[in-house]
Structure 1
Amino acid sequence: MLTKTMKGGTAVTQTEIVKALTAAIDQGAYKYGDRLPTTRKLAEEYGTSQQTVASALTRMANMGLVQVQRGWGARVITGKPAKIRLGTYRSANREIATGTTAWTRNTGTGAKEGPTQVSQTVTTEDDTDTGIPAGAEVVERSRTRFDADGAPVQHKRTLVTVAAATLTPEGWTGLPPMMSPGDINPPGGKSIAQWLGMGVEQITYEVSATSATGPAAAALGLPEDTPCLRIVSRGTKGDGEVAYATVTTAPLRSSVSWEIRDDGVG
């Protein structure tokens, strides 16, 4: 909940208001989509000026926590802090561990994923950081993940080259797995690339802070140019060609982790 109005007779500062409101969001007092009290009510609560409150809300908007519109107020556009676990790998120069996933979270039960959208498209200059050349025909698989409170917390977009997307495991009948909507569950703890025989020998990750745009911004309910994390993973074959690339977009205050094991294998 919100902190006390005064501290020893001194009005709270802009920074303290940001801290208090952020804590209220983290604790669930304000959930995704909720409107915050008016600047006048917050000013009364904190014993400070409406200008100080407005400045605090502007800072929170720049952090991707709220959306502020003149005459409308502030709306929460984030959920509780998210932790994105990219997977478990072996130490350098050893075999990559299987069963990796970028969707594991530890924010409690109730998280869910929206349906997978599958389409065929052509890469553009905006996709150059994926390692797949612009103008390449690819199969695009996209999905949004929501936390237990219904807040969108990750948008995942995977681009698979047509050559890799049309692969099928031995004995498979019907549409290739990567071209089919729904979950893909390889047997025996194998990665999808191993199961389909994509020839992927290396997986690399790049994590950067950027601005939410296009489908990712829309899926996450964020205004264009809201700060966010962009995680690009690439599955590269022995000849250097990228077989697939996944772009995960998440609110900026999400944390990213992965585990490296040195178990003597290799």
Structure 2
Amino acid sequence: MNASAIVADIRSGIAAGQYQYGARLPSVRELADKYEVSQQTAAAAYAVLSALGLTRTERGSGTTVAAGPSADAHLGTYAPPDLTAALPWKPSNAVGQAGEETTLVRQSPATAEMALWGISEGADVVERTRIRSVDGVPVQHKLTVLPYPIAAKTPDGYEGVPPMLAPVGAQPIKPPKGVRVADWLGWDVALTECAITAEPMPLAVCEALRMQEGSPGFRIVNITKNSVGETVYVTVTTTPLHHRVTLDIVG
């Protein structure tokens, strides 16, 4: 048996929940004995698993599982302008309890990266971060960036804190069923550009997902613009390579 076969077997076990998140895996020597291979081959398998972000190895702690069961980074079902058939993100095959928590809401000046998204560098923006989990294990990091004038809008007849400025811990404020947030808040939404890349996840994302620094992941950047080409908002969704990224577009 070679290192690739060992990686495939352990990866399958993690995806199926056989190896629980945070569980300690066998030592290199124990792994070599289990698969009847050399310690060099066993060490190579652990190196690949670590590079995939599935495990992490620390001095004195050995190798532990750094990912939960395989989940579906489902971005949603899009059927504008009628969202009656819309579905939120979900675990694969509806297995596991999905959770979502807002962990950051702040006003800040736009960065140079945001300028690439069509938001002028230095302009006031609102950043909102949500962490999505399956059975308590974080599986997805989602950052939403909005120009402040967009974030400060409220629905007609609404009184109180603008929904997009609601602080961490506040009860989510959602539009009526079947109504897009953009329509509810009076945004002029015309199109969304989507880019998906596989690259090392930023340190803040790795920390939020409890993964080793530099772990690879999928990065999905959605830039939503209005009818005159101005950026209304941007979402950056990051999930480990262990997961799938799916998207349904209806109509």
Give the structure-2-normalised TM-score.
Answer: 0.90
Check the 8 A contact 2:77/2:88 in 1, yes or no.
no
Going from structure 1 to structure 2, the CA distance change for 1:230 and 1:48 (only over 3 Å counts) comes to same
Q: Deviations over 1:82-137 (max 9, x none)?
A: 212223345xxxx5553656633334241212234211112212334533232221
- Displacement of 1:234 in angstroms is 1.8
Deviates more, 1:102-111 or 1:80-89: 102-111
Aligned partner of 2:90 in structure 1 is: 104
Per the TM alignment, residue 170 of structure 1 is displaced from its structure 2 partner at its CA by 1.0
State the one-letter code of the partner of 1:224.
E
- Pick one of 90, 105, 112 that aligns with 1:125: 112
Structure 1 range deviating more: 117-126 or 228-237: 117-126
Which secondary structure state, in structure 2, belongs to the residue aligned with residue 203 of structure 1? strand
Pairwise CA distance, 1:199 = 0.8
Aligned letter for 1:174?
G
* Structure-2 change in CA distance of 1:20 and 1:234 (3 Å): same
Residue matched to 1:3:
none
Gap runs ≥5 in structure 1:
1-11
Q: Secondary structure at the match of 2:177?
A: helix
Decide which structure has the larger Cα Rg and report it: 1
Match of 1:73 among 58, 62, 69: 62
The code of the aligned residue for 1:250 comes to T
Shift of 1:62: 0.9
Match of 2:205 in 1: 216
How far 1:192 sits from its partner (Å)?
0.9
Point out where structure 2 has 5 or more consecutive residues left out of the alignment.
none
Cα shift at 1:256: 1.6
- The answer on 1:142 being equivalent to 2:129 is yes
Tell me the alpha carbon deviations over residues 172-226 of structure 1, each in whole angstroms, 9 at most, x when there is no partner. Answer: 1111111003423111311111110011111222111111113212101122221
Instruction: Verify: 1:114 aligned to 2:87, yes or no.
Output: no
Please say if 1:177 is aligned against 2:163: yes
Residue identity (%): 38
Q: Distance in 2 between matches of 1:65 and 1:242?
A: 36
Q: Which moved more, 1:128-137 or 1:39-48?
A: 128-137
Aligned residue runs from structure 1 range 169-248, under 5 A = 169-181=155-167, 182-248=171-237
Say what the alpha-carbon RMSD is for the aligned residues: 1.9
- Indicate conservation of the 8 Å contact 1:233/1:245, yes or no: yes
Q: TM-score, normalised by structure 1?
A: 0.85
Partner of 1:151: 137
